Every structure is written in structure tokens, then in C-alpha cells.
Amino acid sequence: MKENIDKQWSFDTLCVHAGEGVDTDTKAIRRPIHMANSYEYPIDLTELLETLSWEHLDKFQYTREHSPTPRHLEERLAVLEGGEDCIVSASGMGAIAATFFTLLNSGDHIVASEVSYTGTQKLLGFHLPRFGVDVSLVDTTDPQEVSHAIRKDTKVVYVETPGNPMVGISDIKKISEMAHAVGATMIVDSTWSGLINQQPLSLGADMVIHSATKYINGHGDALGGAVIGPQKMLADIREYGIVHLGACISPFNAWLILRGSVTLPMRMEKHSQNALAVASYLESHPKVKSVTYPGLKSHPGYEVAQKQMKAPSGMLNFNLKTDMMAHFDFLKELQLITHAVSLGHDQSLMVYIPTEFFFEDMVVFNDAQKEKYAGLMGEGIFRFSVGIENSEDIIADLRQALDKMP
């Protein structure tokens, strides 16, 4: 790492300088991309042993383990989250799977959010039980439910906040205390916060996970994931989860994400401003049935969001007073906003999630849970990742499409 990084610098400064520096070989002012899958071994035995050891992350042998460009991204993200170390991976799911399969053994108990990213739900609801892990899925936006689910032998508490796709807000500080009371490891998927808006480690979490595909990269062109936390735990996750299971990142994608992350603070400010403007517009529109955005006072998690987030980020959901099929007509009318999955990109992205589809992803929902979420979602919701275009242009696009609705 650049020798003179001051961890007290603001996010704006750290996003430019952490993990960046002058290339020692050429004096280039940007570090180069190292597109190599292996590195020449030293012939000296002592040096070789150092290269083979996990303690020397600046000595390289094979890119599935660690390599220079991904390591630069790890340096930046560790500093930004205030953690001891970071591991980057091929995708957000690569990071989550590596973490679960390292920390959990057959017979262990995990408490996790009952609503979260689709892939995470499939891991929690389907794959972990295949390997004998005992999974309790509860509404983590209600600390009471978490408290009832945590047992003396709970090993991991896993919370996604803000949560996909309901933008639910879970109280990181409160839940971390509950987890630590039984010696469990508290992990937060902080992807939807956009990193600079929420600092889970300073609120008590042990580890933070990101899909770097989203806000951190921000430009819709690469996939990546990250886990940030204590060195000892991360060393295990690197060895078991990344080296043995294989979800290592391409150096090129790591470079794209490093490049994209330079402007993260500016982008996040704009995402939050735009999302608030869009949410307020939609909330006052007579054809809109409901809007869920943690920056609106009507959001049940507004108070907690105000407390634990710097700004409410760029994700919201809404639905219309019309029937389900008319929601697809609405998508057809949009000219600026793109109908696509993923989120946190420069451009605005929107998808329609019919409630029936959502239930298929939440693999272990019981009837009470289905009833609760059908009550919140109606027949379905638009998940809207508000981009960094001019907010008036985004609102104008929504307006012209809403004008054509019955």
C-alpha cells in the first residue's frame, strides 16, 4: 500500500488514494493491471516458505490465492470499511458462499434475514440445510424476532440492510449486541448502503460483505464481491472459501472496480439525492399505491436509518394502483430508465417483481410470511435503482409513463 495513507482521511480522499500509488518499476502514477495467473517462485528455501505462507499477502504465487491488482482493491476496501483486512471475490455470491462455507459446519445454527438477495436466500433456505446447517430465517427489521431466534449455540447472525427488495432496515448495533451476548459472529451484507453510507464494523458487526458489482464498481461492467473483517477470520475464508472453492476475481475486474470506486462518495451523494426526489414525487402521485424508501418518514425503518446511515442510498420500491399486467405496460413506456436487474449503476434500472415470483425465491416462506409480504407488496413491486442522471429527467420519464396509465 502507499506508505503514507492516513486512515483518518475522509472517504473522498481515501477513495482516491487507498490502494493506489506510484508503480515501483516504471514510476507510472497509476498501479498497472497484472494479468498473470502465476508468479515465479524464489529458489531460496526461506523465501519460498514465505511465499507459500498466508501471512505474506505481498508475495504471490497463483492468482486464485491473491495477486497484485485484487490485493490493491482489498487494501482500499479494508481502509474504507475500517477493517483489519479484506478479501475480494469473483462476485457478491462468491463472497457470501465463501464466508458461509468457511464459518459453518454441519449442526451449526445461523440466524438470518428472512428476506434478502435471491442467491443468499437460496444458500440459506436450500444449500446450507443440504449440508446439515440449522437455519432460522426471521424478520431482522424487528429486533424482537431476532432475540427470540438466537440460541446459546448460535454461531452466525447474518443481516442484510438495507434489504433486497423490500428496503427493510435492520438495527445493526442492537443485533450485534444480541449476537455477541452468545458469542456469535455478526455479519452484515451492506451492499445496498453503497459502503460510504453505513459503517457496520463501527456499529459492532464483525464482518461486512459487499457485492462490489453494485455501487462500489458503479458502472455496470464488472462483477465482484468483498468480505471485510478481522485478519484471522479472513485468512480462513481466503483459504477455504476462495482458494478451495474457487470464486477468485479476475485481475481485470478488480482493476475496473478500483477505477470505478474512485468516485464512490460523489456518486452515492447523487444517488441519495435523486432517490429522495423520485420517492417524494412518486409518493405524491395519485396513481401510485405505495412507495418504500428509508429516506421517507413513512418508512417503518426511518428512525433507525437516520441513526445508522449517513444517507438513505439509491434503492426504493413502489407499485401502482392498477392491476399487475398494467405494470408491464408501464415498463414499456419508459424511455430513459432501463428494464434490467442489478443495481447501483450510473444508469437508472428498474425491474418488476410479481409477488408470486418473489415467493419462489424466498424458498422457505411459510403461510404467515406469505400473508405478511403479500400485504406489503400487493400483486408486485417495482424495484428501482435510481441512477445518477439528472433527477428532473428521471422524474420526467416516470411522469410521461404514469400519464399513459389508466
Ligand X SMILES: *Cc1c(COP(=O)(O)O)cnc(C)c1O
Pick between residue 21 and residue 94 the one whose CB is nearest to ligand X. Answer: 94
**Residues 140, 161, 199, 211: which binds ligand X (CB under 6 A)?**
211
Tell me how far, at minimum, the Cβ of 174 lies from ligand X, in Å: 20
Total interface residues for ligand X by CB under 6 A: 16
Residues 14-33 that bind ligand X (CB under 6 A): none
Tell me how far, at minimum, the Cβ of 289 lies from ligand X, in Å: 24
Q: Which stretch binds ligand X (CB under 6 A): 184-192, 242-250, 318-326, 382-390?
A: 184-192
- Grid cell for residue 358: 418473489
Q: Note whether 189 binds ligand X by CB under 6 A.
A: yes
Tell me how far, at minimum, the Cβ of 354 lies from ligand X, in Å: 19
Q: Note whether 294 binds ligand X by CB under 6 A.
A: no
Q: Note whether 214 binds ligand X by CB under 6 A.
A: yes
Measured distance CA(329)–CA(156) in Å, rounded: 43
Q: Note whether 213 binds ligand X by CB under 6 A.
A: yes
Q: Which stretch binds ligand X (CB under 6 A): 53-61, 86-94, 281-289, 320-328?
A: 86-94
Name residue 189's beta-bridge partners: 160, 209
Q: Note whether 197 binds ligand X by CB under 6 A.
A: no
Q: Note whether 300 binds ligand X by CB under 6 A.
A: no
Q: Note whether 117 binds ligand X by CB under 6 A.
A: yes
**Residues 154, 161, 164, 355: which binds ligand X (CB under 6 A)?**
164
Q: Note whether 318 binds ligand X by CB under 6 A.
A: no
Q: Note whether 198 binds ligand X by CB under 6 A.
A: no
Q: Note whether 192 binds ligand X by CB under 6 A.
A: yes
Q: Which stretch binds ligand X (CB under 6 A): 15-23, 117-125, 252-260, 389-397?
A: 117-125
The C-alpha torsion from 93 through 360 and 131 to 102, rounded to 10°, is 20
Looking up cell 459503517 gives: 199
Q: Note whether 317 binds ligand X by CB under 6 A.
A: no
**Residues 9, 36, 42, 119: which binds ligand X (CB under 6 A)?**
119
Q: Note whether 193 binds ligand X by CB under 6 A.
A: no
Q: Note whether 141 binds ligand X by CB under 6 A.
A: no
Q: Note whether 358 binds ligand X by CB under 6 A.
A: no
If DSSP states are collapsed to H, E and C, what string results for the chain?
CCCCCCCCCCHHHHHHHCCCCCCCCCCCCCCCCCCCCECCCCCCHHHHHHHHCCCCCCCCCECCCCCHHHHHHHHHHHHHHCCCEEEEECCHHHHHHHHHHHHCCCCCEEEEECCCCHHHHHHHHHHHHHCCCEEEEECCCCHHHHHHHCCCCEEEEEEECCCCCCCCCCCHHHHHHHHHHCCCEEEEECHHHCCCCCCHHHHCCCEEEEECCCCCCCCCCCCCEEEEECHHHHHHHHHHHHHHCCCCCCHHHHHHHHHHHCCHHHHHHHHHHHHHHHHHHHHCCCCEEEEECCCCCCCCCHHHHHHHCCCCCCEEEEEECCCHHHHHHHHHHCCCCEECCCCCCCCCEEEEEEHHHHHHHCCCCCHHHHHHHHHHHCCEEEEEECCCCCHHHHHHHHHHHHHCCC
Pick between residue 20 and residue 160 the one whose CB is nearest to ligand X. Answer: 160
Tell me how far, at minimum, the Cβ of 399 lies from ligand X, in Å: 28
Q: Which stretch binds ligand X (CB under 6 A): 54-62, 121-129, 210-218, 247-255?
A: 210-218
Q: Note whether 361 binds ligand X by CB under 6 A.
A: no
Pick between residue 78 and residue 123 the one whose CB is nearest to ligand X. Answer: 123
- Grid cell for residue 21: 500509488
**Residues 86, 223, 257, 304: which binds ligand X (CB under 6 A)?**
223
Residue at 225: amino acid letter:
G
User: Which residue ranges make up the site for ligand X (CB under 6 A)?
Assistant: 91-93, 117, 119-120, 160, 164, 189, 191-192, 211, 213-214, 223, 225
